[in-house]
Amino acid sequence: MLRVDSLSVNYGAIRALKDVSLRVAPGEIVALIGANGAGKSTLLKSISGIIPVRSGNIVFQGENITGWPSHRIVKVGIVQVPEGRRIFANLTVEENLLLGGVALRDRRLLKTTLEEAYDLFPRLRERRAQSGGTLSGGEQQMLSLARGLIARPRLLLLDEPSLGLAPKLVEQIFQRIADLRAQGLTILLVEQNAAAALKIADRAYVLETGATTINGPAADLLNSPAVKTAYLGV
Amino acid sequence: MDFAVHHVTYVCILLMLTGGLSLIHGRTGLLSIGHAGFWAVGAYTAGFVINRLAPDLLAADATAGSRLLSVAAFAAAVVCAMLAASLCGLLVGVPCLRLRGDYLAIATLGFSEIIRVVIVNAESLGGAAGMRVPAVVCVGDTRRFVFAGIAAAGAAFSLLMVRNLLSSTHGRALISIREDEVASQLLGVNVTRYKVVSFVFGAALAGLAGAVYAAYMGYLAPREFGFMKSVELLLMVVLGGIGSLTGTVLATVALYIIPEALRFAEWSVPVWSLTDAGWRRGSVELAELWMVVYAIILIVMMLLRPQGLLGSWEISRLWKKPNQRPDATG
Amino acid sequence: MDFFLEQLGNGLSKGSIFALIAVGYTMVYGVIRLINFAHGEFVMVAAFAGYFCLGALPPSAMPMQGYWALGASMALATACAVLTAGVLAVAVERAAYRPIRKAGRIAALLTAIGVSLFLQNFGIQVVGASDRAFMQERQLPRRVSALSLYKPGDIPPADIYVLHEWPDAATDLEIAFRAGEAIKPEDLADLQSQGVHMVFSLCPMTDGLKRWIIISALAACCLFLHCLVRYTAFGRSMRAVSYDIEGAQFMGVNVNRVISLTFFIGAAIGGLGGVLLALFYNTLDPLMGLIPGLKAFIAAVLGGIGSVPGALLGGLLLGVVEDLVVAYGHFELGSTKFNLTTYRDAVAYTVLITILLLRPQGILGRERAQKL
Ligand SMILES: Nc1ncnc2c1ncn2[C@@H]1O[C@H](COP(=O)(O)OP(=O)(O)OP(=O)(O)O)[C@@H](O)[C@H]1O
Ligand SMILES: [Mg+2]
């Protein structure tokens, strides 16, 4: 479904990604783990077309989307739930959700997906008229996730969805992610919480200072000694 | 020949202004689009002082004593002008420098416009009609040479002071502010103090320029000190290279000479103009198009080379060893 | 009291114009943090577009009569002005601002100053530096009537002119009877002997009428902007871009298009302001955008830059304050006499510096932490 071929990305003179390759098959959850500053967010942002690619290719469903502007990428069905939630505090909860659907042309479809999102997260319906900035951290994460789903993505890129949440909420979020996959959504998941991510993922990649070092079935990585010592804290 | 001397004097006055502005803008990243305001303060202070101290010391039958007195009056005018301008710099600088770059720019613009309105309305300063400044220092044929010398000395003084200020540790602190204000604050650089000092110093040099201008021209008109003048000065600093004194000097000279040369050349170019009756073909002298060209140069420069022609290159690099570069940035 | 109301009305109409121009500054600053120095020149270009459109299609050439013709002609001129300003702004954004969007605020401000200088001086080259009357008397709409309706001894309330041909837009005005003077029998007979059958009077643009036009234009724009910003997808996207550009990109917002449209709308409303400015003072020249532009910018800062209601409020406030200072600026404190009436232009700048020092975020603006 998504194929990233030897991708390199620079920030000015600093190379953030070098020759990263990655595959995501339809219906999979692929986890991407790595230390802080390894380049995980950079990879997701370049897939979303937010930072320019220096070399390499990104192919989505057979179409080469390298260098496309971000709004076209959202239109073809790659939606990212960004790191740090990025809720618009000057918009209400409902406006935040509607903004997630800017790529949708069809007004009626937008209405129904909005209702679906409210059904999925009833908490948000209660707070629809409230400013996005006044939500609690957990509610904001839900809003961010719900907003990502509004556009009916085919591939969801999740950047650290568990960041800053209490363990109970983390569990809930991972449950939601598993549910979404069960409904047929393909997911590329970036996580600091490597253990939890590897448990729900099918396959996983480890990113180290801008390059992929290990990849394979998630279960194998969960048991691999190298991954265990470096990322699982065992 | 006479004309050449006039141009030299004028360029030297401009150099005092752009040198100070280069210190303010080039080295701290602060943008002042009201520099002509400080110039006006200097010029009118000097004009006022000269009018008070030396109304007509240099009449045809002037004695040696009154000649000496007129030189003293000019010196007093220079000192007062510099003090007044730096006081204004302090007045604007202290409260405004905590504003962000673009806001500061607008605040300086507001300040200089206030100065202009006050001058236009002040009867003791001649109002809109302008102010006459009696001759000081000397009269007669040698006058323009004497003033060319004074202006050149003033320009040399200004540029040397700016250069020294920049290559000292102080200057390094200023550059670090330009590169990253927050970081230099964390490193213990007293950012506000450095900003205020460079601002006040730049203003004082503008005051000096004003005093020389007032005494040389003998007449001050408020419209000379308007917003457009500030923009012109700023362009000289920006085009030459933000942070390069060499660039500032070159750009000042070039941007002064080019329109003068065009006027001299009297080239005409065809233009279309729009009248009430429709489009009409005509021709205009290239010198009159200069401001249009000027604006295009500025825009193209920003698009292609926002750091200015020379960037932060200094001519002194030609003879300094590489490791002694005063502003080698990482 | 009448004097006060008069001043207030004057201040409000000038303030409304500031407000209309200020909207463009605030919208653009809101989305890309650029002080668009060239905005005042967009206003100027719009006024000229309106002027030339009015010259080509004056009220006297409209198929209607009287004030209907004036309204139709003004509407056409305004539409032309608004479109011109919008298109110009989009072109300038595309050519000059977009390429340097990441180069920092100072570079952007300098580019904007460059564009402003360019438009001013290019304008001087194209249309000349001298000022023109926006609406000339012979363009004013006419109310035609038959000469036979006038009897000796009638006192016409306005000047009556001879109509030579029907319709005649171009000929100069030839007076038949003067306003306020009783019609003499011999004048009437003289005209009849010349074969004149029709006469007309002009529908003048009075100050009161201008005031109503300006204030209702502002009200209409307020309503339009409110609906646009609050209830449309574009408004949502615009607010999102102004809060967090990258965040908006994640959502799939076409940021470039939002910015272009913001420039378009801001300049279009400024263009309306330009036509009204030319109408209010009945004059226009290539430098006319500079001072009102600066004052409108000050109004935007006063209201809170980035906030559309702030710009509207700031504009009105600034207009009123300026006029009141001028109207009531001469007073005595103890034995010293103060006369501020000639300091009109300093008022705005003083307001600017005061607000920057005391409350840089403006009246309605929200404080925003500097991004580290
Ligand atoms: N805008 C930027 N400009 C310059 N360098 C950047 C920028 N964004 C990220 N970097 C650098 O690129 C590298 C990779 O950053 P990235 O955000 O992709 O890391 P990450 O793997 O997502 O880390 P984390 O787990 O902390 O989110 C880091 O060294 C970072 O400092
Ligand atoms: Mg990250």
pLDDT in tens, B247-263: 889 999 998 988 888 88
Residue C249: Cβ within 10 Å count: 25
pLDDT at C168: 53
Contacts of B88 in chain C (CB under 8 A): none
Domain-embedded: residue C166: yes
- State the pLDDT confidence band at B61, using cuts at 50, 70 and 90: low
Q: CA-CA distance, B122 to B45, in Å (whole number)?
A: 13
Chains B and A touch (3+ CB pairs under 8 A): no
Question: Does residue B326 lie in a domain region?
Answer: no
Q: How far apart are CA A147 and CA A93, in angstroms?
A: 9
Select the highest-mean-pLDDT range: A44-48, C167-171, C342-346: A44-48
Token output for A196 = 């939890």
Q: Which of B189-198, B308-317, C218-227, C324-333 has the highest mean pLDDT?
A: C218-227
Contact present, A39 and A17 (Cβ < 8 Å): yes
Residue A80 CB less than 6 A away from ligand 1 = no
Which residues are within 8 A (CB) of C224 and not within 5 positions of it... i.e. 6 or more apart? none
Q: A39 alpha carbon to ligand 2 midpoint, in Å? A: 7
Helix ranges, chain B (H): 2-21, 27-28, 35-53, 64-96, 101-121, 143-167, 169-179, 181-186, 191-217, 227-240, 245-265, 290-304
Is there a domain that residue B242 lies in? no
Q: Whose CA is nearest to atom 1 of ligand 1?
A: A11
Q: What is the pLDDT of residue C337?
A: 67
From the CA of C89, how many Å to the nearest CA of chain A? 23
State whether C28 and C94 are in the same domain.
Answer: yes
Q: Give the CA angle between residues C74, C80, C82 to the nearest 5°.
A: 100
Q: Are residues C128 and C254 in the same domain?
A: yes
pLDDT number for residue B188 = 58
Our answer on whether the CB atom of A36 is closer than 6 Å to any ligand 1 atom is yes
Chain B partners of C101 at a C-beta cutoff of 8 Å?
A: none
Q: What whole-number distance in Å separates Cα of residue C77 and Cα of residue C56?
A: 9
Structure tokens belonging to residue C72: 């139709």
Structural domain containing residue B208? 2-225
Dist. CA A117 → ligand 2 center (Å): 26
Q: Minimum-distance ligand to the CA of A207?
A: 1
Residue environment code for A144-178, b if the CB has 16+ CB neighbours within 10 A, otherwise e: bbbbbbbbbbbbbbbbbbbeebeeebbebbbebbe
pLDDT of residue C101: 86
Please tell me the predicted confidence (pLDDT) of residue B329: 40
The C-alpha atoms of residue C91 and residue C85 are separated, in whole angstroms, by 10
Query: Is A100 part of the contact surface with chain C (CB cutoff 8 Å)?
Result: yes
Pick the atom of ligand 1 nearest to A34's CA.
21
Does position A201 have pLDDT exceeding 60, yes or no? yes
Q: Which ligand is nearest to the CA of A36?
A: 1
Pair (C124, C183) in one structural domain: no
pTM of the model as a whole: 0.89
Which of A71, A80, A88 minimises the CB distance to C240? A88
Say if ligand 1 is within 6 A of residue A167 CB: no
Query: Above 60 in pLDDT, residue C284?
Result: yes
Q: Which residues does residue B274 pair with via DSSP β-bridges, in sequence order?
A: B279
pLDDT category at A79 given cuts 50, 70, 90 is very high
The answer, yes or no, to whether any atom of ligand 1 lies below 6 A from the CB of A18, is no
From the list B16, B86, B36, the residue with the least C-alpha distance to B225 is: B36
User: Which subunits count as partners of chain A given 3+ CB pairs below 8 Å?
Assistant: C
Selecting from A69, A82, A95 the residue whose C-beta is nearest the C-beta of C250 gives A82
Nearest protein CA to atom 16 of ligand 1, as residue: A39
Beta-carbon separation of C252 and A69 below 8 A? no
Interval between CA C28 and ligand 1 midpoint (Å)? 30
Query: How sure is the predictor about C215, in pLDDT bands with cuts at 50, 70 and 90?
Result: very high
Angle between helices B169-179 and B191-217 (to 10 degrees): 110
Contact C310, C319 (CB under 8 A): no
Amino acid B330: pLDDT: 33
Can you list the pairs that C230-238 forms with residues at least 24 positions away whose Cβ atoms lie under 8 Å? C233/A98, C233/A102, C234/C258, C234/C261, C236/A91, C236/A95, C236/A98, C236/A99, C236/A102, C237/A99, C237/A102, C238/C27, C238/C30, C238/C31, C238/C262
- Residues in A closer than 8 angstroms to C306, CB to CB, are none
In a shared domain, residues C35 and C165: no
Give the C-alpha distances (Å, rounded to integers) separating A227 from A30, A170, A189: 16, 21, 17
Place of tokens 């309706």: C149
DSSP B289: G
Asked if residue C203 lies in contact with residue C142, where contact means CB atoms within 8 angstroms, the answer is yes
Closest ligand to A46 CA? 1
Inspect the interface and report whether the beta carbons of C111 and B299 lie closer than 8 Å.
Answer: yes
A56-60, B21-25, B88-92 — most confident range = A56-60
Chain A residues within an 8 Å CB radius of C233 = 98, 102
Beta bridge partners of A190: A32, A159
* Last residue within a domain, chosen from C181, C202, C223: C202
Long-range contacts of B119-124 (CB under 8 A, 24+ apart): B119/B40, B119/B44, B119/B222, B119/B225, B120/B222, B120/C342, B121/C342, B121/C343, B124/B48
Comparing A143-157, B31-45, C189-203, the range with the smallest average pLDDT is: C189-203
Q: Each residue of C121-162: pLDDT tens digit?
A: 999 988 888 888 888 777 787 788 888 888 888 888 888 888
Q: What is the pLDDT of residue B321?
A: 54
Contacts of B276 in chain C (CB under 8 A): 55, 132
The Cα angle at residue B90 between residues B84 and B91, in degrees rounded to 5: 85
Tell if the CB–CB gap between A99 and C250 is shorter than 8 Å: no
Q: Identify the weakest region by mean pLDDT among A50-59, B101-110, C79-88, C264-273.
A: B101-110
Whether B55 maps to a domain, the answer reads yes
**pLDDT recorded at residue B277:** 78
What is the Cα gyration radius of chain C?
24
Dihedral sign computed on CA atoms, order C137, C143, C144, C149: negative
Chains that touch B (3 or more CB pairs under 8 A): C
> Considering only CB atoms, which chain B residues are within 8 Å of C109?
31, 101-102, 105
Distance A57 CA to ligand 2 centre (A): 21
Domain shared by C43 and C124, yes or no: yes
Ranges B139-143, C72-76, C293-297: which has the least confidence: B139-143
Closest-CA distance of chain A to residue C37, Å: 27
Neighbours of ion ligand 2 (CB under 5 A): A 41, 83
DSSP string, A134-148: GS-HHHHHHHHHHHH
Q: Are residues C190 and C224 in the same domain?
A: no
In a domain, C177, yes or no: yes
Secondary structure (3-state) at C172: coil
The model's confidence at residue C28, banded by pLDDT at 50, 70 and 90, is: very high
- Does C117 contact B101 at a Cβ distance shorter than 8 Å? no
**Rounded Cα gap, residues A148 and B193, in angstroms:** 48
Distance A32 CA to ligand 2 centre (A): 11
The residue of chain B nearest to residue C130, with distances taken between CA atoms, is B275
B258: exposed, middle or buried (C-beta count within 10 Å: 0-12, 13-18, 19+)? middle
- Nearest chain C CA: its distance from A56 CA (Å): 22
C-alpha B182 – ligand 2 centre gap (Å): 23
Lowest-pLDDT choice from A56-65, A150-159, B146-155, B299-308: B299-308
Count how many Cα atoms sit within 13 Å of the Cα of residue B288 in the half-sphere of its side chain.
16
Q: Is residue C292 part of a domain?
A: no
Nearest to B115 by CA among B51, B50, B36, B46: B36
Query: Quick check: CB of A42 below 6 Å from ligand 1?
Result: yes
CB contact under 8 A, A86 and C255: no
Rounded CA-CA distance A148/A142 in Å is 10
Token reading at B59: 């009449």
Which range in A19-23, B26-30, B266-270, B292-296 is most confidently predicted, on average pLDDT? A19-23
The C-alpha of C122 sits at a distance from chain B's nearest C-alpha, in angstroms, of: 6
Strand A55-60, strand C198-202: pairing: unpaired
Across the interface, whether the CB atoms of C356 and B113 are under 8 A apart is answered no
A219 CA from centroid of ligand 1 (Å): 28
What range does the domain containing C162 cover?
Answer: 142-202
| Residue A26: per-residue pLDDT | 94
Q: Are residues C80 and C155 in the same domain?
A: no
Contact A72, A21 (CB under 8 A): no
At C91, which helix (H) or strand (E)? helix C66-92
CB contact under 8 A, A71 and C252: yes
Structural contact between residues B24 and B171, judged by C-beta atoms closer than 8 angstroms: no
Task: Rounding to the nearest 10 degrees, give the CA dihedral for residues C261, C265, C268, C273.
Answer: -150
Same domain, C213 and C123: yes
Count the domains in chain B: 1
Nearest residue by C-alpha to atom 5 in ligand 1: A11
Residue-level pLDDT at C370 = 38
The whole-number pLDDT of residue C371 equals 33
In a domain, C154, yes or no: yes
Q: Based on the domain organization, do C193 and C118 belong to the same domain?
A: no
C-alpha B328/C-alpha B228 separation (Å) is: 34
Shortest distance between the Cα of C115 and any Cα of chain B, in A, equals: 7
**Tokens describing residue A139:** 């509610």
C109, C122, C349 member nearest B105 (Cβ)? C109
Q: What is the Cα gyration radius of chain A?
A: 17
DSSP character at residue C280: H
- Ligand closest in space to the Cα of A34: 1
Closest atom of ligand 1 to CA, residue A51: 1
| Chain A residues touching C254 at Cβ < 8 A | 69, 71
Structural domain count, chain C: 2
**The tokens of C347 are what?**
């008022």
What local confidence, expressed as pLDDT, does residue C220 receive?
94
- C27 plus C123 within the same structural domain: yes
- Select from A9, A22, A41 the residue to mutate for testing ligand 1; criterion: most ligand atoms less than 8 Å from CB: A41
**pLDDT at C372 exceeding the cut of 70:** no
> Residue B228 — pLDDT band, cuts 50, 70, 90?
confident
Least confident of A224-228, B108-112, B190-194, C33-37: B190-194
Render pLDDT for C249-260 as a digit per residue (tens, 0 to 9).
999 999 999 999
Domain match, C226 and C184 both = no
Q: Which ligand 1 atom is nearest residue A40's CA?
A: 21
Hey, CA dihedral for C69, C70, C71, C72, is it positive or negative?
A: positive
pLDDT at A226: 79
Q: How far is CA C76 from the centre of its chain?
A: 15
Mean pLDDT (chain A) is 91
Of the given ranges (B113-127, B164-178, C62-76), which has the lowest mean pLDDT? B164-178
What single letter denotes the amino acid at residue A127? R
**What's residue B280's pLDDT?**
84
Collapse the DSSP code of B103 into the 3-class scheme (helix H, G, I; strand E, B; otherwise coil) and give the result.
helix
Is residue C228 within 8 A of residue C262, CB to CB? The reply is no
Distance CA(A89)–CA(A99), nearest Å, equals 13
User: Does B325 have pLDDT greater than 70?
Assistant: no
Q: Which of residues 135-154 of A touch C (CB under 8 A)?
A: 147, 151
Query: In this structure, are C224 and C154 located in the same domain?
Result: no
B84 occurs within a structural domain: yes
Q: Helices C39-56 and C290-303 meet at what angle, rounded to 10?
A: 130
Chain centre to alpha carbon of residue C23: 12
CA distance to partner chain B, nearest, from residue C117 (Å): 6
Q: How far is the CA of A41 from the centre of ligand 1 (A)?
A: 7
pLDDT band of residue C104 (cuts 50, 70, 90) is confident
At residue B59, the pLDDT reads 66
Query: Residue C74: enclosing H or E segment and its boundaries?
Result: helix C66-92
From the list A55, A33, A4, A78, the residue with the least C-alpha distance to A193 is: A33
- Going from the Cα of C27 to the center of ligand 2, the distance in angstroms, rounded, reads 32
Ligand 1 neighbourhood includes A16 CB (under 6 angstroms): yes
Which tokens sit at B293?
């060209």
